Amino acid sequence: MEIEIDGKIADVPDGSTIMDAAQQLGTYIPHFCYHKKLSIAANCRMCLVQVEKAPKPMPACATPVTNGMKVFTHSDLAIKAQKGVMEFLLINHPLDCPICDQGGECQLQDLAVGYGGARSRFQEDKRIVFYKEVGPLISMKEMARCIHCTRCVRFGQEIAGLMELGMANRNMHSEITTFLGRSIDSELSGNMIDLCPVGALTSKPFRYSARSWELARRKSVSPHDSLGANLTVQIKNNVVMRVLPRENEDVNECWISDKDRFSYESLNSPARLTKPMIRIDGALREVEWNVALDYVTHGLKDVIATHGGESIAALASPHSTLEELYLLQKLTRGLGSGNVDFRPRRRDFSSDGHLAGIPWLGRKLSEINDLDAALVVGSFLRKDHPLFAQRLRQLTRKWGKVSLLSVAADDQLMNLHASRAVSPAELPMALASVLKAAAQLKQAVIPAGLETVEPCEISQAIARTLVEGEKGAIFLGNVAEQNPQAAELHALALELAKLTGATCGFIGEAANSVGGYVAKALPTKLNAREMFDQPRKAYFLLGVEPELDCHDPQGAVSALKAASLVVLMTPFSDLAACEYADALLPITPFTETAGTFVNCEGRVQSFRGLVRPFGEARPAWKIIRVLGNLLDLSGFDYESSEQVRGEMVPEAEEFVGGLSNSLRDISWSMAAPKNGGLQRIADVPIHFADPLARRSPSLQKTRDSAVPTARMNSHTMATIGVVDGAKVRVRQAQGVVELSSQVDESVPANCLRVAAAHPATAALGEMFGAINVERA
């Protein structure tokens, strides 16, 4: 289709609108309600343009291009129409620009300069709109500023999958509101602040703290989940004031999760560790860096001298940078230990040594958009991976059939084709059912060990989507990786992928879940579990909070308590580990250090330090470098983080090499899960997943951060004889905690859902282990 806009010619596909064509030509047409990621509302009427032969001005956002169409965006007719609309938008808009948070980045303000009249012809009283209280993240204090573009409403319906805002009433009394004072709880809610073209929805944490023109904008990358959302970090006086999405269509599109957006509050937290601390006379005391480093090197040397290098273990958080992970494993190995790992929430490591390459998503993120079928195995999908889930949600809005096989039936806010929740122990069998059903559909040889498996209807429905869909994908989520039978799940998924032509891959838990493999932060001796099962003398913890980050906090903490040296590299001081740590070394979070995250698709994303380190905190890679030197290890004379990275990934390489999810010589046993007793299902609450999110006061006020309950179905509840909401005592091995009970019919039989990663449950043991519950 050919179209002429202001004399310039564009060639656009059938079905394009005038707005699409204008964007292709780089012609700006003023607009408010139009947004490229949202459905077309055509309600603001700001984009009216003149179309040859049309008697009336037409909205560019909604008018389809016809061949040979001639459009004038600046003709008399067009300008008159646009000015007319602008006048209407302004008559009821408050004149509070000087105190409005949106000032300087307000589309209305910008356009009013060009299209607004000098003087108002409207001399009546302006509309009054009452403010709304909608939770800790979004402020709806000045709703009179709203121009009714309904972007926020459409975002909820279409992108977040959860309609929390609506436009109530009609005529000029229309107003954006939640249902009867409810809060906005979507984990993607902050995007509505960005979408609001005026200052009606503003960021509660950021409000009135700075004017947009005072802020320096810097590029960064989210340190939270495995998607690696691209960020713009805004800074004033060396302080991070705000975090916004940086558009990258291939990664986060134009969105970020609330965790990505509001975690920055913890960067300025009073809990930041500002000086090194070491244990002196039984108490942790602040010391100078040289004293602390001296203490640590001597401690390590002593342990090695008496117990050998293998008595040391190092455990890193998967949220660490590539450079940190690389140097940590190098240091550990240099000290003669093979006990290094970055996967503290794992339980089953039997695929180690069988991996053909670096486990990853199995396909590019952007290649999710045109899948015909996807199966997610073992995931609290939308809370574990908000933006990844969002991509799948868009898929379900088109043709894609998405299924979920997991341990909980939480609402994923998308139109799932099929969904099944089973106990963690039964997860392999559930996947095997799908595999068997697929084999039957394909009339292929039934894989060994599955002869007696009887696929249920849901398994068959899932298998059908993968067999029939041309492009299919199987995604293993956090639960699949943390499951005690992770390797078996992996092997089954591979087989299913092979049979159906789908890809198979891991969504990955954290910012560097792929990067850790690239950095080789992997055990050659004891893994993240064994290093606690077989206690070591000295531990080196990088960014890990054992009580919250380990698969079995009980086991980890008891080993740590018994060790003679525990060194913690951490940005924060408010740690449970202060009880047993011997040294705390203050490290810098992602905004204060250069580094690299490799996201789930293997994309290498480096970032720079944006603000000066807080207090005396130092980038962890530099600290490890110094330690390497102090410990007389060779190969620790790096000058820059780029140099460190260069040893792993060639410069300018967009994706890491060696990605593969294949397994060598691993099969499944299909051992029937032993029954008897309750099994724990542990989710990691979205805003407790990492140390930064945990310390963001605003995130901690959201519903997602509520104290975990003991969730069980009514049958289980009846067995222990309590009523919904009653206090119960939950026990795993020696650990006991008291929680409120909650009926949740979606919890599978013989299971108790108790979240991990929360102080209230930190005394418990394995995430998917045996558990007991009784009346309190």
Partner 1 sequence: MLSAESLQRIDREIAKYPADQRQSAVMAALAIAQEEKGWLPGEAIEFVAEYLGMPPIAAFEVATFYNMYDLRPVGKYKVTVCTNLPCMLSGGVDAGEYLKKKLGIDYNETTADGLITLKEGECMGACGDAPVMIVNNRRMCSWMNPEQIDKLLAELK
Partner 2 sequence: MAILGAINPMLTAGLDGDKAWHLADYVKRGGYAALRRILEQKIAQGDVINEVKKSVLRGRGGAGFPTGLKWSFMPRSFPGDKYVVCNSDEGEPGTFKDRDILRYDPHSVIEGMIIAAYAMGAGRGYNYIHGEVWDIYQRFEEALAEARAAGLIGKDILGSGFDFELFAHHGYGAYICGEETALLESIEGKKGQPRFKPPFPASFGLYGKPTTINNTETFASIPYIINLGGESYLNAGKPNNGGTKLFSVSGHVNRPGNYEIPLGTPFASLLEMAGGMRGGRKLKACIPGGSSAPVVPAAQMMDCTMDYDSISKAGSMLGSGAVIVMDETTCMVRALERLSFFYYEESCGQCTPCREGTNWLYKIVHRIEHGQGRPDDLDLLGSVTTNIMGRTICALGDAASMPVQSFIKHFRDEFAYHIDNKKCLVPVDVQRAGSGFFTATV
Binding site for ligand FES (CB under 6 A): 31-34, 42-47, 59, 61
Q: What separation in angstroms does the CA of 597 have from each of 591, 601, 620? A: 13, 11, 15
Contacts (CB under 8 A) with partner 1, residues 163-182: 163-170, 177-180, 182
Taking the complex as a whole, the smallest distance from the CB of residue 748 to partner 1 amounts, in Å, to 24
The yes or no reply on residue 287 touching partner 2 (CB under 8 A) is no
Please say which residue, 46 or 486, places its beta carbon nearer to ligand FES.
46
Q: What are 27's two structure tokens?
A: 């012609």
The yes or no reply on residue 121 touching partner 1 (CB under 8 A) is no
Please say which residue, 47 or 563, places its beta carbon nearer to partner 2.
47
Please say which residue, 47 or 129, places its beta carbon nearer to ligand FES.
47
Question: Which of the stretches 107-115, 159-167, 431-439, 556-564 binds partner 1 when contact is defined by CB under 8 A?
Answer: 159-167
The one of partner 1, ligand FES, partner 2, none whose footprint includes residue 121, by CB under 5 to 8 A per kind, is partner 2
Taking the complex as a whole, the smallest distance from the CB of residue 671 to partner 1 amounts, in Å, to 41
What letter would DSSP give residue 44? S
The single residue listed with the structure tokens 């390590």 is: 300
The yes or no reply on residue 109 touching partner 2 (CB under 8 A) is no
The one of partner 1, partner 2, ligand FES, none whose footprint includes residue 56, by CB under 5 to 8 A per kind, is partner 2
Contact 62, 52 (CB under 8 A): no
The yes or no reply on residue 71 touching partner 2 (CB under 8 A) is no
State residue 60 phi and psi, 5-degree precision: -65, -30
Contact 136, 698 (CB under 8 A): yes
CA distance 262 to 244: 9
Selection from 193, 216, 77 nearest residue 141 by Cα: 193
The yes or no reply on residue 130 touching partner 1 (CB under 8 A) is no
Question: Which of the stretches 42-50, 257-265, 330-338, 738-746 binds partner 2 when contact is defined by CB under 8 A?
Answer: 42-50
Selection from 562, 577, 568, 509 nearest residue 532 by Cα: 562
CA distance 163 to 529: 42
CA distance 126 to 131: 15
Taking the complex as a whole, the smallest distance from the CB of residue 414 to partner 1 amounts, in Å, to 14
Taking the complex as a whole, the smallest distance from the CB of residue 27 to partner 2 amounts, in Å, to 21
The yes or no reply on residue 144 touching partner 2 (CB under 8 A) is no
Taking the complex as a whole, the smallest distance from the CB of residue 40 to ligand FES amounts, in Å, to 8
The yes or no reply on residue 398 touching partner 2 (CB under 8 A) is no
3-class SS of residue 689: coil
- Kind plus residue range of the DSSP H or E element containing 731: strand 727-732
Taking the complex as a whole, the smallest distance from the CB of residue 393 to partner 2 amounts, in Å, to 20
Question: Which of the stretches 162-170, 524-532, 629-637, 657-665 binds partner 1 when contact is defined by CB under 8 A?
Answer: 162-170
The yes or no reply on residue 13 touching partner 2 (CB under 8 A) is no
The one of partner 2, partner 1, ligand FES, none whose footprint includes residue 399, by CB under 5 to 8 A per kind, is none
CA distance 556 to 533: 8
Q: What separation in angstroms does the CA of 479 have from each of 361, 485, 528, 536, 553? A: 15, 10, 17, 28, 17
3-class SS of residue 409: coil
Please say which residue, 166 or 309, places its beta carbon nearer to partner 1.
166
Please say which residue, 33 or 566, places its beta carbon nearer to ligand FES.
33
Residue 505 neighbours by CB under 8 Å, 6+ apart: 359, 360, 361, 362, 363, 473, 474, 475, 476, 600, 661
Total number of residues that touch partner 1 (CB under 8 A):
14
The one of partner 1, ligand FES, partner 2, none whose footprint includes residue 329, by CB under 5 to 8 A per kind, is none
The yes or no reply on residue 112 touching partner 2 (CB under 8 A) is no
The one of partner 2, ligand FES, partner 1, none whose footprint includes residue 31, by CB under 5 to 8 A per kind, is ligand FES
Question: Which of the stretches 168-176, 184-192, 265-273, 384-392 binds partner 2 when contact is defined by CB under 8 A?
Answer: 168-176
| Alpha-helical segments (H) within 631-734 | 641-646, 691-694, 697-700, 714-720
3-class SS of residue 90: helix
The one of partner 2, ligand FES, partner 1, none whose footprint includes residue 81, by CB under 5 to 8 A per kind, is partner 2
Total number of residues that touch partner 2 (CB under 8 A):
34
Question: Which of the stretches 52-60, 103-111, 132-140, 488-496 binds partner 2 when contact is defined by CB under 8 A?
Answer: 52-60
Q: In what order do the strands lie in the sheet with 277-280?
A: 283-286, 277-280, 583-586, 565-570, 538-542, 312-316, 340-341
Contact 73, 5 (CB under 8 A): yes
The one of partner 2, partner 1, ligand FES, none whose footprint includes residue 164, by CB under 5 to 8 A per kind, is partner 1
Please say which residue, 36 or 703, places its beta carbon nearer to partner 1.
703
Contact 714, 722 (CB under 8 A): no
* Sign of the torsion formed by the C-alpha atoms of 593, 337, 633 and 580: positive
Residues forming the site for partner 1 (CB under 8 A):
162-170, 177-180, 182
Q: Which chain residues interact with partner 2 by CB under 8 A? A: 40-46, 48, 55-57, 59, 62, 64, 81, 84-85, 87-89, 91-92, 121-122, 124, 147-148, 167, 169-174
